[in-house]
Amino acid sequence: MYSRQEKSKLQQEFWTALGKYLSPIPSAEGLKINWINYKTGVKGVRFFMDTDGKKARIGIKLIHDDIEIQQLFFEEFKKLSKQLFEHLEEEWIWLLHTSDENAATISIIYMEHQCVNVYEQAHWPQIISFLKPRMIALDAFWCNWKYGFEELA
């Protein structure tokens, strides 16, 4: 069992390693990008990557305070689900109006990889292999379709 401090240190080391691994890869627009803290440029739309002792997750969080706008974003993603699938090449999980860890209402579109533990360095290549292509695919999708979301915000 790891202490809270050990877990924090391993998480930090993992995200630093992943950031260094992804840093040479340009965005779909050919620009330098911070893959770990990806900025969509649209209020209420975030791309995320998350890991813990049981799984790795990547996805899109719709966190707009206005529930109706959040639902509009979700519906717009649904309209573009074919294009999203073309980039991701897999079906993701779609949850409209669920709660996050702070009991805030969010909507989320994500994929999860079970049975990986970020606190075990031996699992890092598997986690990176899961996160990397999906984040690059999300960026490619966003490069083509973000403008429709900017109009909704």
Give per-residue pLDDT as tens, 32-60.
999 999 999 999 999 999 999 999 999 99
Residue spans of alpha helices (H) in 23-153: 67-79, 81-88, 124-152
Neighbours of 14 (CB within 10 A): 19
pTM over 0.85: yes
Contacts of 134 (CB under 8 A, 6+ apart): 58, 88, 111
Residue 2's pLDDT band (boundaries 50, 70, 90)? Answer: confident
Q: 140 exposed, middle or buried (CB, 10 Å; 0-12, 13-18, 19+)?
A: middle
Q: How far apart are CA 109 and CA 45, in angstroms?
A: 11
Residue 150's pLDDT band (boundaries 50, 70, 90)? Answer: confident
Q: Has residue 105 got a pLDDT over 90?
A: yes
Residue 153's pLDDT band (boundaries 50, 70, 90)? Answer: low
3-state class percentages of the chain: helix first, strand second, coil last, to nearest 5: 45, 20, 30
- What confidence score (pLDDT) does residue 1 get? 74
The predicted-structure confidence for 58-100, as pLDDT tens digits, reads as follows 999 999 999 999 999 999 999 999 999 999 999 999 999 999 8
